[in-house]
Structure 1
Amino acid sequence: MDNGVSAQEQQTATLPKTMQAVVCYGPEDYRLEEIEVPTRGPGELLVKVEAVGICASDLKCYHGAAKFWGDANREQWIVTPVVPGHEFTGTVVELDDAAREHWGVEVGDRVVGEQIVPCWECRYCTTGNYHMCQVHDMFGFRHFNGAMAEYMVYPQRSIVHKISSDLPAAHAAFTEPLSCALHAVERAQITFDDVVVVAGAGPIGLGMIAGAAAKFPAEIIALDMDERKLELAKRTGATMTINIAEEDAVAKIKELTDGYGADVYLEGTGHPSAVPQGLNLLRKLGRFVEYSVFKDDVSVDWSIISDDKELDVLGAHLGPRCWPAAIRMVEQGRLPLDDIVTHQLPITEFKRGIDLVDSGRESIKVSLIPGGQP
């Protein structure tokens, strides 16, 4: 019987009034709280969060890294209080016609959202470089609550992609770190003849290996200290692995390349020692791509970059225009995600999740499942 109530209004009526969420108030001051379910505005999406990954940058933010909280050389970037979480997937539970037309989604669709919320007005956004937006609002850090909550809102300015609902939710959420890794690979301009070295076989490094493998270079060499991760690197596309706790990576790679060194170095560890390592193992005129977020400043001998080798040193930030490829790779099973996504925890165990990422001994990728069971 038609009672005059739209399907959208019926959906809204079934939503709870409050939800559990992790709220960041400052370094190491993250609290599990009961807060109001957010209300979407015109043209926005309300999404029920299915999974959210804990990123290395989340960890550094938690521990008070200057990049987020400022120091003598930086202004504070994070705006608190804020719900963290920028690697996420969820199901659309409420939208209007404007949102439907803008994103081509419906209630019940599973979606992922890019972590940046561009202004679409600055010189970077208007020239296609939205990932470097001058305003640089981001889910989970700045001006928009993230996904460590049962529900979240995607504002009109956000970038939304549909993804298969047949995937485990934590696998779908891996699209975000994979898109970042693919952008680093794009920056490297890998050719068929290149010897590519990837530092770190964690989530970002494994994504770099998978992306590099799609370019079919001569060699992909993975560096790490964890044999379990190095085995995953082989399954993801590495042609060779080096345990840097047991072998001298610089000497080994020089030996493998007739004394020249590698063509490309992708840094995905966030550890200061990985920077000089890369500079030293590259050949002259090699390419160094830095992706990681560092807790502290890193110093190197810049003469290696200039007078000694004339290196191309490239930064990489976020995953612009790489999301469709990342979604295809996840949907097609190009990475062994059952073994990469090692831990899925309820949101009530967020602190355990942070500790797992911090130690790195048990986990590779840790996800929170706000709804309870994965």
Structure 2
Amino acid sequence: MKAVIMEGGKAHLKDVEVPRLSNGDVLVRMKACGLCGTDIEKICGQYTASQPVLGHEPAGIVEESLSDKVRPGDRVFAHHHVPCYECYYCKKGSTTMCPHYRKTNLDPGGFAEYFRVPAWNVERGGILVLPQSVSFEEGSFVEPLATVVRSHNRVGLRKDDSVLIVGSGPMGLLHLLKAKELGLQEIYVSDISEYRLNYAERLGATYTINPSKMKVEETLKELTGGRGADVAIVASGSPQAIVSGLNSVRRGGKVLLFGVPYKGTILNYDISDLLNNEISIVSSNAADDRDTEQALKLIAERRIKVADLITHRYGLDKFQDAVNVAKQANAIKVVITN
């Protein structure tokens, strides 16, 4: 079978053996897998939080199952990381900090004709059967939407909040769609890409700001009666984006750090402002099975129309073309199909 494998710091499309199953494992034929910004960062050697396995947003059809959780022919989403739910971190509610969480993964990754879901994942809610009403492409959004669900819960986002989303790539726009689903009326989006800002407007952003043309924090204060946003969601890992979020919230506001910064990121920010203005910083990393279940529910009930974010589709044999397009600012979500 064909699969995209990281070797020597580069992504290669190779012919490899179909994974062999052990008791409790499941083999899935990939039908759609989203290309995530973290995949791009791994390929470019910039990602800091995980092992270099590519493809963690897959949906497909069960080819073989040695588990009683699913059967051959089932249409499924598979989660790459699953916590133990028994350790100190899990019991304290920090499931994505579980020592076992990042030790689990799909074999050889989601960008493959077939991939193995290990028994550990299957037994702990890491594979969900898709309703017939949910397409494979929509199913590939379960994981990214789940990370948004978790982050909004962690920051305590409420429908009467005003929110600034810094970065309107695919994840920033998922934050926008989830905020709209919650009922927020003031959703501001900033990005240097006019293409992405126009996309955000079409999806219902209240106001968009291009920081290359206007100052984000000054514009936010004008739009919010001099206060600033209640919550800033930083859907970018760049230090400029983080500082922009910190400078754009009101006194007593919250900043949600969502995008993964590059290793060695240093901020040019006066920390005394945090205390003087009582600004809270909340970080959110990944998702667990409770989040994926909620995400699938939102998709299945059409409360969030994730397919609206897809701009490009490529087969496995065009993976490098997909990466090149995803690096550009005139693309939103790129999906690999099989």
The structural deviation recorded for 1:366 is: 0.9
Gap runs ≥5 in structure 2: none
Show CA shifts across 1:217-247 (max 9, x none): 3411122233333343244442222233332
1:298 paired residue among 252, 263, 266: 266
Report the TM-score, using the length of structure 2 for normalisation. Answer: 0.90
Is it true that 1:258 corresponds to 2:225 in the alignment? Answer: yes
2:26 paired residue among 31, 38, 45: 45
Report the TM-score, using the length of structure 1 for normalisation. Answer: 0.82
Q: Which amino acid aligns with 2:4?
A: V
> What corresponds to 1:318 in structure 2?
286
- Do the aligned residues in 2 keep the contact of 1:236 with 1:335 (CA within 8 Å)? no
- Do the aligned residues in 1 keep the contact of 2:29 with 2:63 (CA within 8 Å)? yes
- 1:229-240 alignment, distance < 5 Å: 229-240=196-207
Q: For the structure 1 residues 304 and 59, does the alpha-carbon distance in structure 2 shift closer, same or farther, using more than 3 Å as the test? A: farther
Q: Which amino acid aligns with 2:199?
A: L
- 1:1-374 alignment, distance < 5 Å: 19-27=1-9, 29-65=10-46, 67=48, 78=51, 82=53, 84-96=54-66, 99-100=67-68, 103=69, 105-135=70-100, 136-139=102-105, 144-158=107-121, 159-296=126-263, 297-320=265-288, 321-361=290-330, 363-369=331-337, 371=338
1:47 and 1:126 map into 2 onto residues whose CA distance is 31
1:42 and 1:255 map into 2 onto residues whose CA distance is 60
Show CA shifts across 1:324-372 (max 9, x none): 22112222334454441111111111111111112233x1111111x2x
1:168 and 1:66 map into 2 onto residues whose CA distance is 30
SS of residue paired to 1:214: helix
1:194 and 1:51 map into 2 onto residues whose CA distance is 35
Q: Which amino acid aligns with 1:123?
A: Y
1:216 and 1:303 map into 2 onto residues whose CA distance is 33
Q: Percent identity?
A: 30
1:291 and 1:116 map into 2 onto residues whose CA distance is 18
**Which of the two has higher C-alpha Rg?**
1
Aligned length: 331
The structural deviation recorded for 1:50 is: 0.8
Show CA shifts across 1:187-244 (max 9, x none): 2212343211111221111111122223323411122233333343244442222233
2:334 and 2:14 map into 1 onto residues whose CA distance is 21
Q: Which amino acid aligns with 1:26?
A: G
SS of residue paired to 2:4: strand
Show CA shifts across 1:156-180 (max 9, x none): 2111112134443222101111111
1:249 and 1:300 map into 2 onto residues whose CA distance is 16
2:157 and 2:47 map into 1 onto residues whose CA distance is 33
